[in-house]
Amino acid sequence: MHFDKPVPVTTIAQLIGAEIFGNVNGIATGINEIHKVENGDLVFVDHPKYYAKCINSDATFIIINKQTDCPEGKALLVVDDPFEAYLKIVNFYRPFEPSMKMFSDTSSVGEGTVIMPGAYVGNYVSIGKDCIIHPNVTILDHCVIGDSVVIQAGTVIGSDAFYYNKKTNRDIHYKRMNSSGRVLIENAVEIGANCTIDRGVSHDTIIGAGTKLDNLIHIGHDTVIGKNCLFAAQVGIAGATTIEDNVILWGQVGVNKTLTIGKDAIVYAQSGVKDSIAGGKVYFGSPVEEAREKMKEFVWVKRIPQLWNKLMEKE
């Protein structure tokens, strides 16, 4: 998330009760989760295993639970519970203030766009020109929708991420990491009925221009999808994954988190993509392999009885 305007790091420190070390004159421009940090960002870390990674990331301000060395120009904000400090900042700069109207006064819509009955458009949403938003669609706060976008009935844009911090010392083990990111839908994207597109936890979930989604598809938080992709019905994609241009996923494919599917890849129905796969190839299986390898495997499996018989003959 970018702040609406830059914030002195001393203001942040005061908000979360942190001691600052390093560049106390810094100006923070936003806050992000470690997978997505940019220069000027705040980030948080609460486990020594990840200290170095966070301190040496693109982030400028590190909310941390122990004072340690810090590169020139950066600052550490030391608190007891960095996760709670992160939530405090998100809740302060992007509070949950639900609009109680079906179309919020703070949102805008371009010429030629039709918003049908029962559709809900929350706060600070921008919708471009010549879009069709079908009945009973829900578009939540801060989402940005381009021109000539179609969103079919019942779809939800900007649901909160499925992203929890585990606290096993409590009765309730999981505490939600509040989502402060957005969904950005580029021009000429078309999304089917009853899909769910989660907002980014701290960054943006992006659907590239010209990409078409069928019905009942789930897109996780912070996932970035390229241009002119085609996803068939009931595809599910976990969080923070990258899918490059022109990728085709057939029905009920599942894709794991934080991986990359290369440009022009095709994945056959019901496959499971567990790790990154290269572009320009055709895949099948759960977990996926190249489709022609998987097909050969099917043939080999059918030969096991023959193998057995040959061996028995020898005995």
Q: Which of residues 228-267 bind a copy of itself (CB under 8 A)?
A: 228, 230, 232-234, 236, 238, 246, 251-252, 254, 256
Cβ atoms of 75 and 65 closer than 8 Å: no
- The residues pairing with 283 across neighbouring beta strands, listed in sequence order, are 267, 290
Q: Is 2 a catalytic residue?
A: no
- Give 15's contacts (C-beta < 8 A, 6+ positions apart): 88, 89, 92
Cβ atoms of 133 and 116 closer than 8 Å: yes
φ, ψ at 163 (rounded to 5°): -150, 110
Q: In the chain, what are the helix, strand and coil shares in percent, each to the nearest 5?
A: 15, 30, 50
Q: Which is nearer to a copy of itself, 34 or 150 (CB)?
A: 150
Annotate 133-161 with b (16+ C-beta within 10 A) or e (fewer): bbebbbbbbbbbbbbbbbbbbbbbbbbbb
φ, ψ at 144 (rounded to 5°): -125, 120
Residue type, 106: T
Tell whether residue 46 is a contact of a copy of itself (CB under 8 A).
Answer: no
Tell whether residue 204 is a contact of a copy of itself (CB under 8 A).
Answer: no
Tell whether residue 292 is a contact of a copy of itself (CB under 8 A).
Answer: no
- By CB under 8 A, which span of 20-28, 56-64, 81-89, 135-143 interacts with a copy of itself? 135-143
Among 27, 34, 70, 209, binds a copy of itself (CB under 8 A): 209
Tell me, residue by residue from 85 to 104, as one string, x for binding to a copy of itself by CB under 8 A and - for no binding: -----------x-xxxxx--
Q: Which is nearer to a copy of itself, 5 or 172 (CB)?
A: 172
Tell whether residue 120 is a contact of a copy of itself (CB under 8 A).
Answer: yes
Q: How far is the CB of 202 from a copy of itself (least distance, A)?
A: 18
Cβ atoms of 61 and 42 closer than 8 Å: yes
Q: How far is the CB of 44 from a copy of itself (least distance, A)?
A: 21
Cα separation, 155 vs 194, in Å, equals: 4
Among 49, 72, 95, 117, binds a copy of itself (CB under 8 A): 117
Tell me the site size for a copy of itself, rule CB under 8 A.
Answer: 80
Tell whether residue 291 is a contact of a copy of itself (CB under 8 A).
Answer: no
Residue 114, both tokens: 């039709």
Residue 227, both tokens: 């241009």
Tell whether residue 136 is a contact of a copy of itself (CB under 8 A).
Answer: yes
Peptide bond into 287 cis (omega under 30): yes
SS3 for 190? strand
Tell whether residue 214 is a contact of a copy of itself (CB under 8 A).
Answer: yes
Cα separation, 243 vs 58, in Å, equals: 23
Question: Whose structure tokens read 């302060």?
Answer: 92
Q: How far is the CB of 308 from a copy of itself (least distance, A)?
A: 6
Tell whether residue 182 is a contact of a copy of itself (CB under 8 A).
Answer: no
Site for a copy of itself in 158-177 (CB under 8 A): 159-160, 162, 164, 171-174, 176
Among 116, 278, 280, 292, binds a copy of itself (CB under 8 A): 116
Q: Which is nearer to a copy of itself, 5 or 166 (CB)?
A: 166
- By CB under 8 A, which span of 10-18, 30-38, 70-78, 270-278 interacts with a copy of itself? 270-278
Residue 197, both tokens: 């597109």
Tell whether residue 52 is a contact of a copy of itself (CB under 8 A).
Answer: no
Would you please indicate which residues are annotated as catalytic (active-site) residues? Answer: 221
